[in-house]
Structure 1
Amino acid sequence: MDVSIVLTMLAVGLILGFVGAGGSGFIISILTLLYGVSVHVALATALTAMIFSSLSGAVSHYREGNVSLKSGISVGILGALGAWIGSNLSSFIPEGELKWLTAGMLLLSGVLLWLRMFLFSRQQKERTIPTGAKFVVYSLLIGLITGALSGMFGIGSTPFIQLGLMMVLGLSIRQSAGTTMLVIIPIAIGGGMGYYQQGFLDIPLLIQVVVGTMVGSYIGAKFTNRVPAPVLKTSLVALPIFSSFLLVI
């Protein structure tokens, strides 16, 4: 086991726990920039590691009543399929081009997070959730699209999923945040399986990343309530944008 990777991921986990984000893009950037890990292996590692971080978050949100099980399970199952497809397609993209594409997706996710927090923060009223055929079709589209993005670029697609749940399935901001954590679990599993089949999933590296980030996130989360909300919002938006620049250095 490379102790330096564990310690670096511990520091990364402190930041992610403090900000309250999955941070797969940040992990990808650190692995490629500091340790020379190929972008395909970094994508596989970061996406699969989200299984563990999202699981604890989903349980916490469920206990708080912030999870729509019907929406989360429907979108998540289809998201797993999309992630598996996306991870297989990723293997056909040259490493240099994949770095730029992933950086672009991280930059876009930062913009969408800004839109989600600052433009939709006042929309507290819950909308009517579609039923029947509409619900099935909408869930299919959200799951396949966000899952494919996650699988292909190794990112959690949090802002994409949240916006889909709010704008299309009619969930409130609070529900969309909690349900997204549930959706990411099967997406991470599907994407991880696809990368494993392609030979890109490095299990020892994954263990080191998971150990470091989980311990760091647990400690970092204790500092979240000690800073003003605007600082947290700014940090959450800045993290994927900063990660996108690190990725193409």
Structure 2
Amino acid sequence: MQLVEISLVMILLGLLLGFVGAGGSGFIIAILTVVFGYPIHTALGTALAAMFFSSFSGSVSHYREGNMVFKTGIVVGAAGALGAWFSSGWSSLIPEDKLGWMTSGMLFASGLALWFRLAFMRNKAAQTGKPVIVPTWGYWINAVIVGGVTGALSGLFGIGSTPFIQLGLMLLLGLPMRYAAGTTMLVIIPIALAGGAGYFTMGFLDVPLLIAVVVGTMSGSYVGAKFTKRVPAVWLKTCMVITPMIGATILLL
């Protein structure tokens, strides 16, 4: 019965996440721990694994639309998978109460990073041409750094690190916002897969719970996405920034 309730709540959450175009792992963690009483390590593993499904469908769409730099995404994603795999093991060493505070702090930081991206990266957003990639050693080293750092954050705290990945792609690799957004969806796939597998090997991934979360969020997201183009842009940007912060606030309750 509780899994049915979780799935229904996730449908409502999916409406919001589909509207703002977010993976919402932090919000999922907050709901599972505060509302339904799941241990935070289990919530982290479930939320991280759930991102695989939403990111896969989003990645296919961005690839078809030509919004992706495929080779860059593969390299960043591979480095991110390694970071997520190792850091998911470190998560088990952190006490639950401290991990909750740390995850909440990362969600607040995620909201601030997203605000920074929206407020100060307008020049990147205005670029529409496909970026010309110069395959230098420096470029690929930066790609590995972006992937390794953001993957470690995802594995340790169960969050998608989407704003951090996008900022890394724009600031260190020079991708316009459109391509940063599309490439980020590809990057998250191996990160979510490796991080989820790491939590599974430690017994922190509840498969029936994962199914309930995925069914709910994907159903709600499909409907919520239809409202994205139907509201003023300022409302959308505001919701994008405050969504992770609301999740962080719930997690502190």
Q: What range is the shorter-chain TM-score in?
A: over 0.9
Instruction: Please list every run of 5 or more consecutive structure 2 residues that lacks an aligned counterpart in the other structure.
Output: none
Identity %: 59
Aligned to 1:93: 94
Aligned to 1:200: 204
**Are residues 1:81 and 2:85 paired?**
no
Give the 3-state SS of the residue equivalent to 1:21 in structure 2: coil
* CA drift at 1:63: 1.1
* CA drift at 1:23: 0.7
Aligned to 1:132: 136
**Are residues 1:141 and 2:149 paired?**
no
Cα distance in 2, alignment partners of residues 121 and 63 from structure 1: 24
Give the 3-state SS of the residue equivalent to 2:123 in structure 1: coil
Give the partner amino acid of 1:216.
G
Cα distance in 1, alignment partners of residues 114 and 134 from structure 2: 24
Cα distance in 2, alignment partners of residues 140 and 58 from structure 1: 20
Cα distance in 1, alignment partners of residues 80 and 186 from structure 2: 11
Cα distance in 2, alignment partners of residues 76 and 59 from structure 1: 15
Deviation string 1:89-138 (CA, Å, 9 cap, x unpaired) is 10100000000000000000100000001111233347664423112211
Deviation string 1:166-211 (CA, Å, 9 cap, x unpaired) is 0111111100000000000000001001001111000000000000
Matches within 5 A, 1:54-73: 54-73=55-74
Give the partner amino acid of 1:246.
I
Matches within 5 A, 1:1-249: 2-123=3-124, 124-125=126-127, 129-249=133-253
* CA drift at 1:162: 0.3
Give the 3-state SS of the residue equivalent to 1:93 in structure 2: coil
**Which region of structure 1 is more displaced relative to structure 2, 228-237 or 129-138?**
129-138
Instruction: Please list every run of 5 or more consecutive structure 1 residues that lacks an aligned counterpart in the other structure.
Output: none
Cα distance in 1, alignment partners of residues 225 and 144 from structure 2: 33
Cα distance in 2, alignment partners of residues 219 and 77 from structure 1: 32
TM-score (norm 2): 0.96
* CA drift at 1:223: 1.4
Cα distance in 1, alignment partners of residues 68 and 197 from structure 2: 25
* CA drift at 1:57: 0.8
**Which region of structure 1 is more displaced relative to structure 2, 115-124 or 140-149?**
115-124
Give the 3-state SS of the residue equivalent to 1:122 in structure 2: helix
TM-score (norm 1): 0.97
Give the partner amino acid of 2:160.
G
* CA drift at 1:15: 1.0
Cα distance in 2, alignment partners of residues 236 and 16 from structure 1: 9
Number of residue-to-residue matches in the alignment: 249
Give the partner amino acid of 1:82.
G
Give the partner amino acid of 1:36.
G
RMSD of the TM alignment (CA)?
A: 1.2
Give the partner amino acid of 1:103.
S
Cα distance in 2, alignment partners of residues 155 and 86 from structure 1: 12
Q: Is the 8 A contact 1:39 1:99 kept in 2?
A: yes
* CA drift at 1:147: 0.2
